Structure 1
Amino acid sequence: MESHYVLSLLLRQARREDVPAIVALLADDHLGATREGDPGDERYLAAFDRIDANPYDELIVAERDGKVVGTMQLTYLAGLSRLGAERCQVEAVRVAASTRGQGLGRKMILWAIDRARARGCAMVQLTSDKSRTDAHRFYDNLGFTASHVGYKLAL
């Protein structure tokens, strides 16, 4: 995968050494603080290795001035519906607290949409926790539609 600069923001595939910074971003909000652990935990590295080895997964980081300031995971899902169309699932979108409100998240999502379109995906989909009302406004403003009800079962 090529790296791309988007208005002083480098979007690139994550590397193993980015894992602690990514985990820190995941933990840096009211929900993540309760579910993330020590960034050095080997389970994070094992998960990274699995994601990195899968051609249908992309763990992306946004870097500014050599520092990871955002992350997201893109997963390409095959399906029979829509004439066998592929979908891009966007997960774990995070922007560093110190850079929020600067349009970085918007640039990241628009980049992900362009990437999915170039790959031939029929749609981009994502879920957002019900408590993230600011995120809902953000996705609405980008043209996403809250068209489905999602369910999860913790195991």
Structure 2
Amino acid sequence: MQITYRLATESDLIEIIQMLSDDQLGAEREKFERPLPDSYTRAFASISADPHQELTVAVLNTEIVATFQLSFIQYLTYQGGIRAQIEAVRVKAEYRGKGIGKAVFQYAIERARSKKAHVLQLTTDKKRPDALRFYESLGFIDSHAGMKLYLK
């Protein structure tokens, strides 16, 4: 299985949003319709213009089978270190359980290393216990308590 990775283009948005909305939590958050709401196009433009953001798609043959976003955060601690944050990781439903998620994370880990990040972090919803077990199997550890304040 030869997966290739590339930065997403605007023409990939429909497939990306479809993947993001293809589970119980995503269906509650996303608005997958054709045409897509303009908010997705605006967000894509902002992400694409930011050199510290990488919205990536994984391609098998010619089909997009997964997506994720890496953010590279420069900060002062760790002697001016870089923290990589991975978000919005999704594998198309028909490709789940086939090793694509693991391959995506291996690629993302190497990408973070290549940008000199000293840590790759993620958050996962507590309503996704299978995802938590998957991340732990990749070597991620539950090291911090995360908190959110929703600004609606």
Q: Same fold (TM over 0.5)?
A: yes
Q: Post-superposition, which runs of at least 4 consecutive aligned residues in structure 1 deviate over 2 A?
A: none
- Does structure 1 retain, via aligned residues, the 8 Å contact 2:21–2:32? no
1:38 offset after TM fit, Å?
3.3
Q: What is the alpha-carbon distance in structure 2 between the residues aligned to residue 111 and residue 25 of structure 1?
A: 19
For residue 35 of structure 1, the aligned residue among 29, 35, 54 is: 29
- Provide structure 2 residue ranges, at least 5 long, that are not aligned to the other structure: none
The residue type paired with residue 98 of structure 1 is E
For residue 52 of structure 1, the aligned residue among 19, 43, 48 is: 48
1:100-144 CA distance string (max 9 Å, x none): 001101101111110111111111000000011111111101111
Q: What is the alpha-carbon distance in structure 1 between the residues aligned to residue 102 and residue 11 of structure 2?
A: 25
- Does structure 1 retain, via aligned residues, the 8 Å contact 2:20–2:90? yes
Q: TM-score scaled to structure 2, two decimals?
A: 0.95
Q: What is the alpha-carbon distance in structure 2 between the residues aligned to residue 69 and residue 79 of structure 1?
A: 33
- Provide structure 1 residue ranges, at least 5 long, that are not aligned to the other structure: 1-6
Identity of aligned residues (%): 44
Q: What is the alpha-carbon distance in structure 2 between the residues aligned to residue 23 and residue 93 of structure 1?
A: 11
User: Does residue 154 of the first structure (1) align with residue 150 of the second (2)?
Assistant: yes
For residue 64 of structure 2, the aligned residue among 59, 63, 68 is: 68
Count of equivalent residues: 149
Q: What is the alpha-carbon distance in structure 2 between the residues aligned to residue 140 and residue 71 of structure 1?
A: 20
User: Does residue 21 of the first structure (1) align with residue 15 of the second (2)?
Assistant: yes
Q: What is the alpha-carbon distance in structure 2 between the residues aligned to residue 79 and residue 142 of structure 1?
A: 25
Q: CA RMSD in A?
A: 0.9
User: Does residue 132 of the first structure (1) align with residue 128 of the second (2)?
Assistant: yes
1:68 offset after TM fit, Å?
1.4
SS of aligned partner of 1:152: coil
Q: What is the alpha-carbon distance in structure 2 between the residues aligned to residue 107 and residue 73 of structure 1?
A: 15
Report the counterpart of residue 11 of structure 1 in structure 2.
5
